[in-house]
Amino acid sequence: MAFPLLFLLFLSIPSSESKLSIDYYKKTCPDFDKIMSDVVTSKQTANPITAAATLRLFFHDCMVEGCDASVLISTNSFNKAEREADINFSLAGDAFDVIVRAKTALELTCPGIVSCSDILAQATRNLINMIGGPYYNVRLGRKDGLVSLASRVDGQIPRSNMSLNRMISVYATKGFTIQEMVALNGAHTVGFSPCKEFSNRIFHYSKKSPSDPAMYPKFAEALRKICANYTKDPTMSVFNDVMTPGKFDNMYFQNLQKGLGLLASDQALVMDPRTKPFVDLYASNQAKFFQDFAHAMEKLSVYGIKTGHKGEVRHRCDAFNKFKA
């Protein structure tokens, strides 16, 4: 019978995800792990913001077109790349730099073998672990994407002023549950946000209150002093987690419970019955947060990946091997 045979053949066709493996470079680039570890450790030691910056870069990459290093592409006269989208203007240079350094080192040892998307995924995991976060497996074998368009970014990455309904929708369209969304938001336990991203919460909030009533008053007062000149200096920023800014822990969730959330999208998590139980859970149980964050990151790291002829291994992370729109 033809039908069962065709059905079995269909089942045997591997998905892109099934082509990945932890030891993908074991034979083709046996020093991959060591080189990545050396580069990442050196960069993080010299520039401690690298971990948070790289985690954010990875997230912005994966949420648009999948985890394919499309965010690393530079704009040229033929193509306005993802980097040019306004939400990506604040991606820190240290994150791009650690990827370039790793790619350069790997090209010297095993040229044309390791993709930029694998480098970004592995660097992110290593850096999270370096600053106290959970270790999770990174399956390798991604190819780098062939498309990077600024026009495709809007609406794919959660913004600080997004309603919770909209945020949930953004994650749901990519296959993530509400709990996974909350766990991934725990990444805000490190890093920083420009004052302009939360200025509406601390300046002229309403006729009755200068700041958002959900924010601890003394915290709002301190932020107003720090961000007093943010309109003149748009680079002025504040740590997302003011208590333990350089450590990956569950303090972010504890802060939300105390009115110390920086962004409106953060504070919304502790005020809605759909998300508050997870905030409370992670605030009281760091091990559970680490477990769920690691699971969500493993899931995110294989979202929308390219394998085979759907991608390439770039010679340089900021340019397609042969330009394609």
Binding residues: 61, 64, 66, 68, 70, 82, 158, 188-189, 241, 244, 249
For residue 105, the Cα-to-chain-centroid distance in whole angstroms is 23
> How would DSSP label each residue in 47-69?
-TTHHHHHHHHHHHHHTTTSSSS
Bind-site residues for Ca(2+): 61, 64, 66, 68, 70, 82, 189, 241, 244, 249
Residues paired with 76 in a beta bridge: 79
Task: Give 100-108's long-range contacts (Cβ < 8 A, gap of 24+).
Answer: 100/317, 100/318, 101/39, 101/42, 101/43, 102/35, 102/36, 102/39, 102/40, 103/316, 103/317, 105/35, 105/38, 105/39, 106/29, 106/32, 106/35, 106/36, 107/315
Q: Give the helix, strand, coil percentages of the chain, each rounded to 5.
A: 50, 5, 45
Question: Alpha-carbon distance 310 to 322, whole Å?
Answer: 14
- Per-residue tokens: 99: 């990827």
Q: How far is CA 8 from CA 4, 15, 16, 254, in A?
A: 6, 14, 18, 51
Backbone angles phi, psi at 237, to 5 degrees: -135, 165
Element holding 73 (H helix, E strand): none
157 is written with which tokens?
A: 């990455």
Residues annotated in the binding site for substrate, as ranges?
A: 158
Q: Which residues are annotated as a binding site for heme b?
A: 188
- Distance of CA 33 to CAs 138, 187, 292, 294, Å? 11, 24, 25, 19
Residue 156 and residue 64 in contact, taking contact as beta carbons nearer than 8 Å: yes
Residue 263 tokens, joined: 């962004």
Check if 60 is active-site: yes
Q: Of the listed 60, 204, 295, 309, which one is catalytic?
A: 60
Task: Just list the catalytic residues.
Answer: 60
